[in-house]
Amino acid sequence: MAVSVETLPTHESDAVVRARRAQRTVGFGVFAALVLAATLVSREVPEWMDSGIQRWAQDRYQWSILNRQTSWVFTSFFTPIADFLTWAVENVESLLLALRWPGVVGIVFAIGWRIGGLSAGATGAAAMFGMGLIADWDHAMRTLAIMSVAVVIALVLGIPLGILTARSDRAESVVRVLLDTAQVMPIFVYLSPLVIFFGVQIPPAVMATVIYALPPAVRLTNLGLRQVPVVANEVGHSFGTTSWQQLLKVQLPLARRTILLGLNQVIMMAFAIVVLASLLGTGDLGRDVLAAVQKQQVGLAFSSGLGIVLMAVALDRISTGVRSTSTPQWARRLPRFSRGTARWTALGVVVATVVAGRLFSLSSFPSSWSVDVAGPIDSAVDWVESNVRRDVPIIGGTQAINDFLITEVLNPLQGFLQWLPWLVVVVAFAFVGWLSKGWKLAAAVAVCLALIATMGSDNDTVLWDHAMDTLSQVLVAIMLSVLIALPLGIWAGRNDTVQRVLRPFLDIAQVLPQFVYLIPVLFLFSIGRAAGVVACVIYAVPPCIRLTALGMREVPFAPREAAISFGATRRQEMRQVQLPLARKAILLGINQTMMMVLATVIIASLIGAGGLGLLAYRASAKPNIDFGLGTAGGLSIVLLAIVLDRLTQAWGANPDTERGR
Amino acid sequence: MTIIRRKRRIAAVVAGAVLATSLAACGDDEKTSSGGGLTGPAITLAVNPWTGSAVNAWVASVVIEANIGAPVEIIELDENSTWVGLDDGSIDAVLEVWPSGHAADYETYITDKGSVVDLGLLGPAAKIGWYVPKFVVDAHPELATWEGFMNPELAALFSTAESGDLGQFTMGDPSYVSYDEEIIENLGLPLKYVVAGTETALLAAIDQSIADQKPILLQFWQPHWKQLEVDLVEVQLPAITPECEASLASQDGAYVCDYPVDQLYKAANAGFQAKNAAAFAALSKMQLTTEQQSEIAGFVDRDGLTPEAAAKKWVDANPQVWQAWLA
């Protein structure tokens, strides 16, 4: 067990306190000695550390290009999979088109109703219908078909993996690193290999979606199974169940809610990648967004992007699987159905809508109904662009913020990190690891950072320097996100109105394709790192607000009540009772923010942020020259992410539960 | 358990949907995909994300469907995927490749592997270069050539927070060819090379520059629809010398000249000829002049037609041009 140097619980004896203090003094001594040694040993990353991974990856890529028609790996493995994926997506798509739009809306309603109640069904159907009003229905059905196939595959792979990791700690530690990689590895690194493996258009797009959306399926299955109470397992055992029976009859049913949450998260992740997957030629809603962005049609990009959001909302409502706690007034007044009647009514709705759709041959969503959202959005964006850039009282406008961020914040921080001898950075991070959780974490952190030093160089610049560039941007983005999200989250956690007002914005910011807001962000700021940081912040703030608010709300009422009855003011009660009790959830929120920022580094590189993100992007920009370089850049991002993730998780971990594991 | 009941509910809903679809299929008036007398396997043409690429493909599509009778499928995707599609035959042809950006692809797929064939020149020439907005040259005529940028004071007009005291040179998408960093270094210009990351970012930077009347120096090219919208002036770089040509071939990093003119070419999957010899012959012969291509692209970028409608309009009006491709 690692030596825990957590804040000391008050009941520990003086002897323990003194021992801890001594240990810490020794630790500081060792750290200082290591820093000195590191400075003397090597300031720059030495050349011999280059592992040659770039060359290696590039050679594998080139080999794949030359052998993709002949090697058995392709002819008897990848090609059949690709053919199956195309077949599956095409069939789902033609089914969706054959259902006609009323049928699809009817099915969304029926499933939503039966699973989440009338209001869930109605919201889902309304969202789907609204999508038809603002986006291209046929393209949306292509997107839906790709999503469905990818989600099913992610579940088929993810749930067994989750079961495996729940049953074996060793499997968990291996799979966890793979999942972290899948979540943070920029899609641009694996797009080109996927195209070589699976051809163009639909198959690689499905596979990219599966890779990106798989992690929550595994993680939440694992979590759900591990949360099954010990008592339930014991009872099963005492009745003599086999391991399989135990899994199927006790654990999986008890973990149902969490696994369903996993399904919901898988769907949301899949929607987050629609636009990037469309680079491969999917001809779907994602492509509409991309094409509009490429032609600078912000409004059009927004309306297709909102179409994606609405579809995500529809699927979210019908996959949440939890009856919404507050039924709205109008729904309560509706007649209540018995279970049998309800089933037949739902079936009736579906049959009626499908038959109606086909009889009236409503082949596509009527174009005359389409609502022009592009125009108003364009004028709104124009207004913002011409009024927020300069001459704003006090803050001066976005251009001033842009210049301030670059010259006063990012330049000094980046300069400092790059000036530090690289070993000092490694030692410093390892020391933070040691302080947080002991020598094991320190070693893991040191190894991860040292691996970045083995990634080689790009022309004359070692990847380490790019990593420090990216690290400086990531740190600034995380700091800004937390500064924005914590107060809002705390406020939303204590005030229902704020929560209700914020929620739709959070939903949209999380699912709206990032491409959509890149143009306004670019115009408000300028090409460069500040715009990149802002894009990261927009994407990373919502989960942090959400988790902070959730943490505040989950604090039991009793201790808060007690504090107030002892005469604490609202402010005191919040600062001294609610906030400390919500600490774990808030730290989880910060951890998520960090991962989101690192996942957005790649998007930031599309608007001039440079660093590791740009290297990773080059893997798909010029694959037959830069694939190796891009792979090294992508791996470095993953390593940075693992370091930051493990450190923040150690802060969030409660020493008591750690010991319990 | 509830989970099973829930599955049944969904199963019932899906079953209902399938049932209803098949019931209603009787009264169906669905179009068959081989409508219009088109026969044989579809010819797939790649469209990359710019107007020229789209109008070439749509013109070819209109001509082939009407005169050769084979269905044509247009696939929109990025350039790198296009080469992989050409390699495995999921894409039959692409009608506009910019040679400067694809020397490595040419070598891999056409020269070494032989899975892709060169279909000859399309006709129009394209040119990459250094551009500034016209208001910059109006105020400082010396900035019309590279020598003007030797003056640190003039170069500093292009400075930004990212470039500090130096002027900023803005490059767009890293997948496009760029010798800019070499040129800046070898000419000793007081400029900092900044990669915007995407063409979208580059376009936004142009808009910003025009709106603020703040000078910008960037890599840009002709033809591009943005050239119709804003006044950009090409900065004269040193003329191409034999030394520069040698440096280009050896990639020795000593390049100091202007960009060579890009002769756009066409490429096809090696099996395309066997798949449809008539279409293969037509696309080999297909040529447009720069003027013709800009005319069709103008229907799209200026008049707002779809690429398909623009192609039809031009094909109807210019039979003598495309009939030569079929001869």
Is residue B199 one of the residues assigned to a domain? yes
Residue A355 is nearest to which of B23, B76, B196, comparing CB atoms? B23
Q: Quick check: B196 and A608 CB within 8 A?
A: yes
Q: Is the pLDDT score of A5 beyond 70?
A: no
Q: Is the pLDDT score of A91 beyond 80?
A: yes
Residue A206 has what pLDDT? 94
Q: What is the ipTM of this complex?
A: 0.81
Q: Which one, of A634, A613, A630, lies nearest residue A622 by Cα?
A: A630
State how many domains chain B has: 2
Same domain membership, residue B150 and residue B254: yes
User: Best interface-test mutation with A: which of B5, B21, B177, B193 has the largest number of A CBs within 10 A?
Assistant: B21
Q: Quick check: B3 and A253 CB within 8 A?
A: yes
What is the share, in percent, of chain B residues with pLDDT greater than 70?
89
Rounded-to-integer distance, Cα A553 and Cα B155, Å: 57
pLDDT digits (tens, 9 = 90+) for B175-191: 888 889 889 998 889 99
Give contacts of A 354-373 with B, CB under 8 A: 354-355, 357-359, 361, 363
Chain B residues with beta carbon closer than 8 angstroms to that of A350: 13, 16-17, 20
pLDDT digits (tens, 9 = 90+) for A453-507: 888 888 878 899 999 999 999 999 999 999 998 889 888 888 888 888 888 788 7
CA distance A606 to chain B (A): 4
Q: Is the pLDDT score of B26 beyond 50?
A: no
> In Å, how far are A112, A513, B268 from A194, measured between CA atoms?
35, 22, 22
Q: Is the pLDDT score of A348 beyond 60?
A: yes
DSSP SS3 for B133: strand
Q: How confident is the model at residue A335 (pLDDT cuts 50, 70, 90)?
A: low
Chain A residues with beta carbon closer than 8 angstroms to that of B19: 351
Is residue B141 one of the residues assigned to a domain? yes
Q: Does B252 touch chain A (CB under 8 A)?
A: no
> In Å, how far are A21, A47, A454, B247 from A34, measured between CA atoms?
20, 21, 20, 48
Q: Which residue of B has its CA nearest to A622?
A: B175
* Annotation: CATH topology of A79-326+337-361: MetI-like fold (1.10.3720)
Q: Quick check: A110 and B162 CB within 8 A?
A: no
Same domain membership, residue B253 and residue B224: yes
Q: Quick check: A607 and B76 CB within 8 A?
A: no
Q: Does A594 touch chain B (CB under 8 A)?
A: no
Mean pLDDT, chain A, whole residue set: 82
Q: Which residue of B has its CA nearest to A621?
A: B175
- Phi/psi at B225 (5° precision): -60, -30
Rounded-to-integer distance, Cα B250 and Cα A95, Å: 55
User: Best interface-test mutation with A: which of B208, B224, B302, B305 has the largest number of A CBs within 10 A?
Assistant: B208
Q: Quick check: B197 and A110 CB within 8 A?
A: no
Residue A222 has what pLDDT? 85
Choose the weakest-confidence range: A296-305, A358-367, B88-97, B199-208. A358-367
Is residue B32 one of the residues assigned to a domain? no
Q: Is the pLDDT score of A157 beyond 90?
A: yes
What is the share, in percent, of chain A residues with pLDDT greater than 90?
15
Q: Which residue of A has its CA nearest to B27?
A: A359
Chain B residues with beta carbon closer than 8 angstroms to that of A253: 1-3
CA distance A650 to chain B (A): 35
Choose the weakest-confidence range: A25-39, A50-64, A562-576, B101-115. A25-39
CA distance B28 to chain A (A): 7
| Strand pairing report for B72-76 and B43-47 | parallel
DSSP SS3 for A454: coil
Structure tokens at B12: 């019932």
Q: Quick check: B161 and A111 CB within 8 A?
A: no
Same domain membership, residue B114 and residue B76: yes
- In CATH, what number is assigned to the domain containing residue B114? 3.40.190.10
pLDDT digits (tens, 9 = 90+) for A411-463: 899 889 888 888 888 888 988 888 888 888 888 999 999 999 888 888 878 89
Is residue B288 one of the residues assigned to a domain? yes
Same domain membership, residue B86 and residue B204: no
Q: Which residue of B has its CA nearest to A318?
A: B10
Counting one residue from A and one from B, how many pairs have CB atoms under 8 Å apart?
Answer: 210
pLDDT digits (tens, 9 = 90+) for A621-641: 888 888 999 999 999 999 999
Q: Quick check: B205 and A527 CB within 8 A?
A: yes
Q: How confident is the model at residue A659 (pLDDT cuts 50, 70, 90)?
A: very low
Q: Is the pLDDT score of A517 beyond 90?
A: no
CA distance B281 to chain A (A): 25
* CATH, range A388-419+455-655: 1.10.3720.10
Q: Quick check: B195 and A346 CB within 8 A?
A: no
- In CATH, what number is assigned to the domain containing residue B141? 3.40.190.100
Q: Which one, of A556, A341, A608, lies nearest residue B208 by Cα?
A: A608
Q: For residue B255, give the DSSP letter.
A: -
Domain with CATH 1.10.3720.10 in chain A: 79-326+337-361, 388-419+455-655
Q: What is the pTM of this model?
A: 0.84
Q: Average pLDDT for residues A165-185, to the nearest whole number?
A: 88
Rounded-to-integer distance, Cα A4 and Cα A2, Å: 6
Rounded-to-integer distance, Cα A185 and Cα A635, Å: 7
Rounded-to-integer distance, Cα A31 and Cα A34, Å: 5
Structure tokens at A355: 């038959």
Q: Which of B209, B234, B261 is the last residue of a domain?
A: B261
Q: Quick check: A529 and B162 CB within 8 A?
A: yes
Report the greatest alpha carbon distance in chain A. Answer: 84
Domain coverage including residue B151: 127-261
Same domain membership, residue B139 and residue B226: yes
Residue A350 is nearest to which of B20, B87, B203, comparing CB atoms? B20
Chain B residues with beta carbon closer than 8 angstroms to that of A609: 197
Residue A610 has what pLDDT? 87
Chain A residues with beta carbon closer than 8 angstroms to that of B162: 406, 526-529, 608
Q: Are B131 and B235 in contact (CB under 8 A)?
A: yes
Residue B80 has what pLDDT? 85
Q: Does A280 touch chain B (CB under 8 A)?
A: yes
Choose the weakest-confidence range: A248-262, A453-467, B55-69, B302-316. A248-262
Most confident of A25-29, A574-578, B28-32, B68-72: B68-72
Q: Is the pLDDT score of A16 beyond 80?
A: no
CA distance A62 to chain B (A): 9
Locus of tokens 């319990």:
A660
Q: Which of B236, B261, B286 is the last residue of a domain?
A: B261
CA distance A422 to chain B (A): 24
Chain A residues with beta carbon closer than 8 angstroms to that of B2: 253, 256
Mean pLDDT, chain B, whole residue set: 85
Q: Which of B241, B261, B281 is the last residue of a domain?
A: B261
- What's the sign of the alpha-carbon dihedral A254, A255, A258, A261? negative
Q: Quick check: B174 and A280 CB within 8 A?
A: no
- What's the sign of the alpha-carbon dihedral A238, A242, A243, A246? negative
CA distance A581 to chain B (A): 34
Q: Does A98 touch chain B (CB under 8 A)?
A: yes
Give contacts of A 168-227 with B, CB under 8 A: 192, 195-196, 199-201
Q: How many CB atoms lie within 10 A of CB B275?
A: 16
Specify the higher pLDDT residue, A345 or B310. Answer: B310
Residue A114 is nearest to which of B13, B27, B28, comparing CB atoms? B13
Residue A633 has what pLDDT? 93
Residues with Cβ within 8 Å of A333's Cβ and at least 6 positions away in sequence, in order, are: none
Q: How many CB atoms lie within 10 A of CB A430?
A: 24
Same domain membership, residue B146 and residue B180: yes
Residues with Cβ within 8 Å of A408's Cβ and at least 6 positions away in sequence, in order, are: none
Q: Is the pLDDT score of A145 beyond 90?
A: yes
Same domain membership, residue B202 and residue B88: no
Give contacts of B 76-135 with A, CB under 8 A: 76-78, 80-82, 84-85, 87-88, 90-91, 104-105, 108-109, 112-113, 115
Q: Does B227 touch chain A (CB under 8 A)?
A: no
Same domain membership, residue B245 and residue B175: yes
Same domain membership, residue B244 and residue B142: yes
Q: Is the pLDDT score of A401 beyond 90?
A: no
Same domain membership, residue B140 and residue B80: no
Q: Is the pLDDT score of B145 beyond 70?
A: yes
Same domain membership, residue B282 and residue B187: no
Same domain membership, residue B275 and residue B250: no
Q: Quick check: B75 and A293 CB within 8 A?
A: no
